[in-house]
Amino acid sequence: MRRRHFAPALRVGTTGAFAALALAAHLLAGERLTDEQPAGGPQPHEAPDWSAVRDVLERRCLECHGGEARQSGFALADATTFAEGGGRGAVIDDRELAASRLLEVIEYADPELAMPPSGALPASERDLLRAWVLAGAPWPTDASGRLADPGLFAAEPGIDFEAGADWWAYRPLAAPKFPVPTDPDWRTSDIDGFVAAELEARGVEPAPLAAPTTLLRRATFDLTGLPPTPDERRAFEDDVDRRGADAAFAALVDRLLDSRAHAEHWARRWLDLVRYAETNGYERDSQKPNMWRYRDWVVRAIENDLPYDRFVVAQLAGEEEARLPRDGAVPHELSDAALATGYYRLVTWDDEPSDRLQARWDEVADVVDTTGQVFLGTTMGCCRCHDHKADPIAQSDYYAFTAFFNNVEGFRYDGERLVADPPGPGVLTTEERDARLAEVTELLEAEAEASGALEVTWEEPVTLVPDARTAAHRWRYRQLDAIDADPDGWQVPGYDDGAWPEGPAGFGDPSTPGSIVGTRWFTPRILARTTFALDQVPRSLVLSIHQDDDAVVYLNGVPVARFEGYVTQYVELELGPEALAALVVGRNVLAVSCLQDFGGRYLDVGLRSGTLAEADSTARIARNLAERSGDPAFARTRELWEQRESLLAAAVAAPYPAQVVREHGGTAPVQHVFGRGSAHAPGDEVAPHLPTVLGFAATSIEPPLPSPDPSAPSTGRRLALANWLVTKGAFLTARVEANRLWQALFGRGLCRTAGDFGRLGDLPTHPELLDHLAQRLIDSGWDREAVVREILSSRTYRLASVGPEDSLAADPRNDLFWRHDPRRVTAEEFRDAVLAVSGRLVDEAFGPWVYPPMDPAVLATASRPDEAWGESLPDQADRRSLYVHTKRSLRLPLLEAFDQPSPDLPCPERFPTSVPTQALMTLNGSFAREAATDFARALLDATDDERAQVAQGLERAFARAPHPGEVERQLAFLDRLTERGFGRAEALAIWCLGLFNLNEFSTVD
């Protein structure tokens, strides 16, 4: 059997607990020399007296390592336990004794490795241990070398990977034996055979088939997240009458799967898994510019029925598979390959960490943990610090898996890359965009002149950072070669630039035309930073710059201007709203990077408040719209401005920036196991491989890797991993996805814990059926829609949600699927259904995120309420919830209340709750009340007949005809409202609001 040392659980005594934790991370020994086993070769140092060494070890180390505990498997009880070592590498380097970790930690040079943590050893004790180590760390094997009972804390057994590989999820896919049910009605599909066999074995009677109209609403919500319209209901019922229920339902499924609404709804499921968000999180929670392009890629991939294996490979390594160039715009035909890798840019990112090295590896761990859970159904996060406590996954496995991703560049403000879409549906040519833009701009300027939006009073300019023409302002700078990597976070305020040299403004070569050199610049690249203070944020900013060649300017880490090519004189640019939003009262950082690899060399930057004297009309309009956002006089101007902004943001067959993956070249760094997850405690080196336990079913856990190539844009490791997942690892990848397909249609998977197939999760209720669906997915060419059609066509899916009482008593959790579980609609489904039923839903796909109205009381909780949320026009704000801005620190209250998951972690399954705030929002919230008013207005516009109004309202809300006597009861309710003084329109709006709050509206089945 394959075994590996398994570190025991922490056991901390009443004293020295902190010392135990820290020492456990670093003093984990391998085999050591004893006085009977001298080091090879002559010893240059004489060993000190053992009794003195023993005294130090007993007083400083033994309590946590062999005396009262055996932290991390390391014990100093005697020579044998010392030689056994612990969960990490040796503390004595036999090849170079002076480089031993023991000496490193007692020197207190690195706070992360400082031992003991209670304080540095006295110099005499430190010198004693140093002499002992340099003599080979001899340890007597007689009674004098016994510091404690070596059997008191025995080392725990290692992981038995072979036994662990017998767990259901880690076995190869088995060819199932298809059961034959006794009831012929259950012999119509393989799925029904597996379900019926379990029902018959347990003596549980299934529910009858659901009514066709019930199936219509169920399938429409399951596949599109929207309710069926009255026209769709009538067409379906006519088809049932004409061709029969089975044929009509099959046609319905085809229509729904072919719809864009299906792609949008199922994209939301995927975005839950990959913790999709459009901001970075943490205190600033700044935006991830253009992150929505990844969301749109997911929608298009599902709409085009991209096979799941291609879906996986594209996100993990699309650009490696396409062999994209390291620099320059991505060619049209390869744009999808780049956009899919936005997956790596969804991480939370701290732009001002206290520990930059640890923050960098936290970011990598975010990718590792998400990838393991999403594609392998395996929770690996705890292995970052120790072996998994339940599953056969070692800490070394975790860091070997990390090695596939450790060359990926971390998120940064300027991490976007130019991507170009090919012309086609939804993508304008440059000429089309420019023509429309000119037309809208002409209308905008005419309207702005009429409304007074061109009239602006400019503030007196204040110099914030003078350029070299006016003062010798001091900058911190760093000169770099072309291939040097930028220091992580060098643009943000929290970066420590104290080690950078300082010099006056004007960096370059005096021979460069128009230059005013204060500091000589000799290398191809330069980074420069300076600070300035504000007692209030100005209303406008002007940047002056003279650069030779390409330059990027940042304010507090946010890129606010980019320049290509060179100039021979100073130019000025009025910065946009993103620059103003980046400013804070107090200390601000202006940073700039510049590349020049031939010809002249010069860089100088200045910054002032105010505006350009020749400010164009759009700048004036933008100023007025920003300062007078609620002024009704500017309503038409604002509408035209939004049209202009939409055109500027529209997909055009020209390069545009997108969040896509980048690597640090073709050579990956060495990956270490990090003690207790600390990047400051590197241990053993590991090579890239999958978890060891998967090797029994996959036959290999080491995908073939390309040879390192320093000139390549990436290592190729991610592509090797992605290909492994859909070939040798397909048994697990397909199981995980097949389970999710079932979950999407039944509300839960065959394995209820969709994100954890390990021992802490649930066993599958029908393992043979799950294996069948996984194999079916692979055999269909990874066609998810083919599997979905098979599930939807089964009798199991079409069962009613109410059945025999005896069956409910025998199987209250419905583990056997004897009925179809009713479910509450998700947060997005509720909001979208309200918009659809009220007639407000805007059926517009793709593009930048939108901002539905946010209650001022909610905005007041933000540190900068005026900038916490944007504003969209109604025809944009009422788009599907998929397109609502996903801000980590501020989500739409309605969606959050109805259990939209936090985007900080993967969400394999949502858990519906019932809390008072939900009813407060659906009864008293402005969204529901305004939608009810619009719903009532639509009914009044449709007909003057009150009976018809009620009947149409019930049909639109519930996708069914009224029950007998139902219209009369509702009319009586409306009469009571009018008797109490409500007008008929107002009464109808109250009634519509009541429909939104009925269980039938918010529950499927």
pLDDT tens per residue across span 421-440: 666 777 787 788 889 889 98
Is 156's pLDDT higher than 80? Answer: no
Amino acid identity at 622: A
Give the global pTM: 0.74
End-to-end CA, the chain: 51
**CA distances in angstroms from 916 to 213, 854, 913, 919, 992, listed in the order given:** 32, 20, 10, 6, 21
More confident residue, 93 or 995: 995
Banded model confidence at residue 31, pLDDT cuts 50, 70, 90? very low
By percentage, how much of the chain surpasses pLDDT 70? Answer: 90
Residue 956 has pLDDT above 50, yes or no: yes
The DSSP line for 625-661 is HHHTTT-GGGHHHHHHHHHHHHHHHS-BSS-EEEE--
Q: Compute the average pLDDT of residues 367-379.
A: 97
Residues 6 or more apart whose CB falls under 8 angstroms from that of 88 comprise: 25, 26, 28, 72, 673, 675, 683, 684
Please tell me whether the peptide bond between 487 and the residue prior to it is cis, using omega within 30 degrees of 0.
no
**Residue whose entry in the numeric block shows the structure tokens 């005013």:** 516
pLDDT score at 5 = 35
Q: What's the rounded mean pLDDT across residues 372-386?
A: 95
Q: What is the pLDDT of residue 104?
A: 82
Structure tokens belonging to residue 844? 């517009």
Q: Under 8 Å CB-to-CB from 265, ≥6 apart: which residues?
A: 223, 224, 225, 226, 829, 882
Domain boundaries, the chain: 50-145, 211-258, 289-422+659-727, 428-454+618-652, 463-614, 926-1004
- Cα–Cα distances in Å, from 963 out to 332, 954, 968? 55, 10, 10
The pLDDT score that the predictor gives to residue 7 is: 33
pLDDT of residue 942 exceeding 90, the answer is: yes
Instruction: Give dist(CA 125, CA 109) in Å, integer.
Output: 16
SS3 label, residue 152: coil
> Amino acid identity, residue 694?
L
Over residues 510-517, mean pLDDT: 88
25-51: average pLDDT: 52
Q: Picking from 64-68, 159-163, 164-168, which range would have the lowest pLDDT averaged per residue? A: 64-68
Averaged pLDDT for residues 190-202:
96
pLDDT of 241-273, one tens digit each? Answer: 999 999 999 999 999 999 999 999 999 999 999
The residue with tokens 């259950």 is 186
Per-residue pLDDT tens digits for 565-578: 778 889 998 888 88
Q: How many CB atoms lie within 10 A of CB 789?
A: 16
Find all residues with CB under 8 Å of 507, minimum gap 6, and list them: 475, 477, 517, 518, 519, 520, 521, 526, 528, 594, 602, 603, 604
Please check the confidence at residue 900 and state whether its pLDDT lies above 60: yes
Give the residue-averaged pLDDT of 932-952: 96
Task: Give the best-scoring range by mean pLDDT among 5-19, 342-356, 696-710, 960-974.
Answer: 960-974
**Res. 111: pLDDT tops 90:** no
Per-residue pLDDT tens over the stretch 51-73: 999 998 888 888 877 777 877 67
Provide the edge-to-edge strand list for the sheet that holds 474-480: 502-504, 474-480, 525-534, 586-595, 550-555, 558-563
Highest mean pLDDT (candidates 130-144, 318-332, 493-507) = 493-507
pLDDT of residue 11: 29
pLDDT tens sequence across 387-423? 999 999 999 999 999 999 999 998 876 677 877 766 6
8 A C-beta contact, residue 952 and residue 230:
yes
Work out the pLDDT band at 880, boundaries 50, 70, 90. very high
Predicted confidence (pLDDT) per residue in 11-23, tens digit: 233 333 333 333 3
Q: Is the pLDDT of residue 386 over 70?
A: yes
Cβ contacts of 276 within 8 Å, gap of 6 or more: 294, 295, 346, 886, 903
Q: What pLDDT score was predicted for residue 937?
A: 96
Name beta bridge partners: 419. Answer: 330, 656
Residues β-bridged to residue 603: 507, 547
Please report the pLDDT score of residue 637 as a whole number. 79
Summary mean pLDDT of the chain: 88
Contacts of 717 (CB under 8 A, 6+ apart): 403, 404, 405, 407, 668, 688, 705
Compute the distance between CA of residue 92 and CA of residue 96 in angstroms, rounded to an integer. Answer: 8
Under 8 Å between Cβ of 604 and 468: yes
Q: In DSSP terms, which residues pair with 287 in a beta bridge?
A: 279
What per-residue confidence (pLDDT) applies to 919? 94
Please give the pLDDT value at position 83.
72
Q: What pLDDT is recorded for position 263?
A: 98
236 to 218, 668, 822: CA distances (angstroms): 13, 57, 22
What is the 3 state secondary structure string of 195-231?
Answer: HHHHHHHHCCCCCCECCHHHHHHHHHHHHHCCCCCHH
The answer to whether residues 614 and 542 touch, using CB atoms and an 8 Å cutoff, is no
Higher per-residue pLDDT: 908 or 649: 908
pLDDT reported for residue 72: 65
Name the fold adopted by 463-614. Jelly Rolls (2.60.120)
Which DSSP helix (H) or strand (E) runs through 101? helix 101-106
Q: What is the mean pLDDT of residues 502-520?
A: 92
Least confident of 509-513, 544-548, 751-755, 844-848: 509-513
Residue 45 or residue 589, greater confidence: 589
Distance CA 25, CA 679 (A): 11
Residue bearing the bigger pLDDT, 232 or 354: 232
Residue partners of 720: CB distance under 8 A and separation at least 6: 404, 688, 703, 704, 705, 706
781 pLDDT exceeds 90?
yes
In this predicted model, which residue has the larger pLDDT, 152 or 6?
Answer: 152
C-alpha 757/C-alpha 373 separation (Å) is 9
The residue among 656 and 608 whose pLDDT is bigger is 608
Quick one: pLDDT band at residue 624, thresholds 50, 70, 90?
low
Mean pLDDT confidence for 179-188 = 93
Q: What is the pLDDT of residues 633-678, one digit of tens each?
A: 778 878 887 888 888 877 777 777 889 999 999 999 999 999 889 9
Residues 556-572, mean pLDDT to the nearest whole number:
86
Other Cβ atoms less than 10 A from the Cβ of 814: the count is 20
How many residues are recorded in the chain?
Answer: 1005
Greater pLDDT, 154 or 361? 361
* pLDDT score for 623: 63
Is residue 290 predicted with pLDDT exceeding 50? Answer: yes
C-alpha–C-alpha distance, residues 386 and 370, integer Å: 18
By the 8 A CB rule, do 957 and 1001 touch? yes
- Residue 956 CB coordination number (10 Å): 23
